[in-house]
Amino acid sequence: MLKSVKRQLPVMALAAAFGVMTLAPALAADGKALFTDKGCVACHGEDAKTPLQEGFPKLAGQSAEYALNQMMDIKSGKRTNGQTVEVMKPIVAELTDDEMKALADYLFSLREAPTAASTAPATPGKTLFLTKTCVACHGKEGKKPLPGYPVIGGQDKAYILAQTKDIKTGARTNGKALAMQPVMHLVSDDEITAIAEYLSTVK
């Protein structure tokens, strides 16, 4: 007994001396575990890209900076459009900043290796995506956004439609939405529908 305590003493002294350094990694929030433990899987899917229902967003591979900002804006009440208030707010209300950061980093880590450029024929939606400036900020096929801007290629169709309309009408003004709002006069509702159709089919 005594012997084993003695043997542990140097280790304990070391742990005390480097307490902060050795404890910090052990306590760091684990995004993957949080995604399950906090119930995110129920609505966004175990793989973060199989949402429970139409109109719920896919999150896998999303920009970490963007995802973190959205969680913070939903928590603080800056983003109130769509289903954010009823559905997402109660969930993020329980999360600390560190947990949200770990979750956002985990979601970004789920991005897939780039596939060969799509050879799909041009559809009206694809042409609109290229000609109505969307590509300038959201990147090729909506998957290479400017830093902090969202990935929208492969997103749920109803979700794309709802968010684009909300940014157009000003129902959503949080984060960097005001960067996008000024070009929304370029697209009619029918054109937004065609673009959402195209983006949702991007692999």
Residue numbers of the site for ligand HEC (CB under 6 A)? 38-40, 42-44, 56-57, 59, 67, 69-71, 81-84, 87-88, 91, 95, 103, 132-134, 136-138, 149-150, 152, 160, 163-164, 174-177, 179-180, 183, 187, 195
Tell me how far, at minimum, the Cβ of 114 lies from ligand HEC, in Å: 20
Which CB sits closer to ligand HEC, 133 or 201? 133
Which CB sits closer to ligand HEC, 21 or 93? 93
Which CB sits closer to ligand HEC, 8 or 76? 76
Q: How many CB atoms lie within 10 A of CB 125?
A: 19
Cβ–Cβ under 8 Å, residues 187 and 132: yes
Tell me how far, at minimum, the Cβ of 24 lies from ligand HEC, in Å: 22
Tell me how far, at minimum, the Cβ of 15 lies from ligand HEC, in Å: 32
Residue 55 in 3-state DSSP? coil
1 Cβ contact list (under 8 Å, min separation 6)? none
The Cα–Cα gap between 64 and 7 comes to 44
The Cα–Cα gap between 1 and 8 comes to 11
Which CB sits closer to ligand HEC, 90 or 121? 90
Tell me how far, at minimum, the Cβ of 195 lies from ligand HEC, in Å: 5
Tell me how far, at minimum, the Cβ of 115 lies from ligand HEC, in Å: 21
Question: Which string of b and e fits 68-93 if b means at least 16 CB within 10 Å?
Answer: bbbbbbbbeebbebbebeeebbebbe
Determine the Cα angle at 52 with ends 98 and 166, to 5°.
75
46 Cβ contact list (under 8 Å, min separation 6)? 36
Which CB sits closer to ligand HEC, 13 or 46? 46
